[in-house]
């Protein structure tokens, strides 16, 4: 016999939400397409009248935000004219911001994703850049495809999209992949990555709790600075990633991340430690871990910055402090 009391409906509704979040997590983690058993879902929605509306909402917004957080505005196209600047993860030089780029980019041979519902988005437009919709990370990754939008594609071994929790409350944005990241296709896995992992642990998180990505997704050869056209080509994807995740806080690691996201060429030494807002999301600029490896005396300041983030997120220091 079917229990269609309001309490049972609420329980089922919450359960459905949990399952959907879990499947989304698994999908991002394993890169698999989400398969929903349509028959089982239909049975479920028939079993309690109040579930119908909820199920319809869930289906209609299969990629929508958890209700707790407001929808973030669309990524803005970068500013038209900003001075280019040579690469440095350190704080010493004021930095670059990308030249103008259209928010909607042409597709590059990416097959239409099987599970993406039809939208009024123009073919090939960047998910999240049109119609105020919220893309999934998976959609954004598919749109990037075998990206050839800048010359970094000719020297990269792997495109490094990002890794971690697609519903993270905290996102770390670095500059661009180095050698190890390029080889493994995963951000922050070299020496700077080891330090970042420790910093994350010290904040009371596991690496998998947060999301980690970079301004540019392909390694600049010899770890040179990303050039403005490279930042411009990649930046819409970073902005789309943040639309998809809708974190509570972004930590911008180093001047490239901070200056690119904030469109502010103030040196990182002056940006760091001061809360800013990025598209309605709180953003804390701090030093890049690679800089901290070269200048360990600055770790204290970076830790102060991270402690401010922890306070906002209600986190206690972790065991790996």
Q: Which residues bind ligand URA (CB under 6 A)?
A: 174-178, 181, 187-188, 190, 192-193, 214, 290
Output 158 or 266, the one with its CB closest to ligand URA: 158
Find the radius of gyration of the CA atoms of the chain: 20
Say which residue the tokens 């403005």 belong to: 228
Main-chain dihedrals φ then ψ at residue 25, nearest 5 degrees: -60, -50
**3-class DSSP assignment, residue 54:** helix
Q: Tell me the C-alpha distance between 206 and 185, whole Å.
A: 20
Output 55 or 161, the one with its CB closest to ligand URA: 161
Closest approach, Cβ 113 to ligand URA, in A, equals 26
Give the sign of the dihedral formed by CA 51, CA 56, CA 62, CA 65: negative
The size of the chain, in residues, is 321
Output 175 or 230, the one with its CB closest to ligand URA: 175
Work out the burial of residue 287: count CB atoms within 10 Å of its CB; fewer than 13 is exposed, 13-18 middle, 19 or more buried: buried
Closest approach, Cβ 239 to ligand URA, in A, equals 17
Beta strand segments in 23-97, E: none
Output 63 or 227, the one with its CB closest to ligand URA: 227
Q: Are 251 and 172 in contact (CB under 8 A)?
A: yes
Q: Are 165 and 211 in contact (CB under 8 A)?
A: yes
Query: Minimal CB distance to ligand URA: which residue?
Result: 174
Checking DSSP bridges between strand 211-214 and strand 170-174, what pairing results, if any? parallel
Closest approach, Cβ 189 to ligand URA, in A, equals 7
Output 166 or 190, the one with its CB closest to ligand URA: 190
Closest approach, Cβ 289 to ligand URA, in A, equals 7
Closest approach, Cβ 201 to ligand URA, in A, equals 17
Output 74 or 212, the one with its CB closest to ligand URA: 212
Output 63 or 230, the one with its CB closest to ligand URA: 230
Structure tokens at 52: 């119908």
Closest approach, Cβ 290 to ligand URA, in A, equals 6
Closest approach, Cβ 33 to ligand URA, in A, equals 27
CB under 8 Å to 90, separation ≥6 — which residues?
Answer: 254, 288, 291, 294, 295
């Amino acid at each position: 016999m079917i229990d269609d009391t309001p309490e049972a409906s609420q329980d089922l509704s919450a359960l459905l939400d949990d399952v959907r979040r879990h499947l989304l997590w698994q999908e991002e983690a394993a890169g698999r397409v989400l398969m929903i058993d349509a028959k089982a879902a239909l049975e479920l929605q028939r079993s309690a009248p109040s579930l119908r509306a909820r199920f319809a909402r869930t289906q209609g917004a299969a990629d929508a935000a958890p209700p707790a957080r407001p929808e973030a505005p669309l990524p803005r196209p970068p500013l038209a004219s900003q001075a280019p600047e040579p690469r440095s993860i350190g704080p010493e030089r004021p930095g670059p911001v990308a030249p103008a780029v259209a928010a909607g980019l042409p597709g590059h041979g990416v097959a239409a994703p099987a599970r993406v519902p039809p939208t009024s988005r123009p073919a090939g437009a960047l998910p999240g850049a049109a119609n105020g919709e919220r893309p999934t990370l998976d959609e954004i990754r598919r749109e990037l495809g075998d990206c050839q939008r800048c010359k970094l594609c000719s020297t990269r071994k792997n495109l490094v999209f990002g890794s971690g929790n697609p519903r993270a409350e905290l996102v770390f944005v670095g500059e661009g992949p180095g050698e190890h990241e390029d080889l493994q296709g995963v951000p922050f896995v070299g020496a700077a990555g080891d330090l970042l992992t420790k910093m994350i642990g010290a904040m009371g998180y596991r690496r998998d709790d947060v999301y980690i990505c970079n301004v540019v997704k392909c390694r600049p050869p010899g770890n040179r600075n990303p050039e403005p056209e490279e930042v411009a080509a990649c930046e819409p994807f970073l902005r789309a990633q943040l639309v998809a995740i809708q974190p509570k806080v972004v930590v911008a690691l180093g001047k490239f991340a901070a200056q690119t996201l904030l469109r502010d060429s103030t040196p990182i030494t002056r940006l760091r430690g001061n809360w800013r807002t990025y598209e309605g999301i709180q953003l804390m600029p701090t030093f890049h871990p690679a800089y901290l490896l070269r200048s360990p005396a600055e770790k204290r300041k970076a830790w102060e910055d991270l402690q401010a983030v922890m306070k906002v997120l209600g986190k206690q220091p972790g065991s790996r402090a």
